[in-house]
Amino acid sequence: MGPTTIENVGRLAGNLLKSARLKRGLSQRELARRAGVPQAMVARIEGHHQQPTLPTLYRLLAAADLELRTRLEDYDIHDDVLDRRRAARSSDDRATAEQAQDRFVDALQQG
CATH superfamily of 3-63: lambda repressor-like DNA-binding domains (1.10.260.40)
Domain chopping of the chain, boundaries: 3-63, 78-110
Question: What is this structure's pTM?
Answer: 0.71
**Cβ-based neighbours of 41, under 8 Å, separated by 6 or more:** 32, 50, 52
Q: What is the pLDDT of residues 41-57, one digit of tens each?
A: 999 999 999 999 999 99
Angle subtended at Cα 41 by Cα 35 and Cα 42, rounded to the nearest 5 degrees? 65
User: Using one digit for the tens of pLDDT, what is the confidence trace for 75-90?
Assistant: 999 888 988 988 899 9
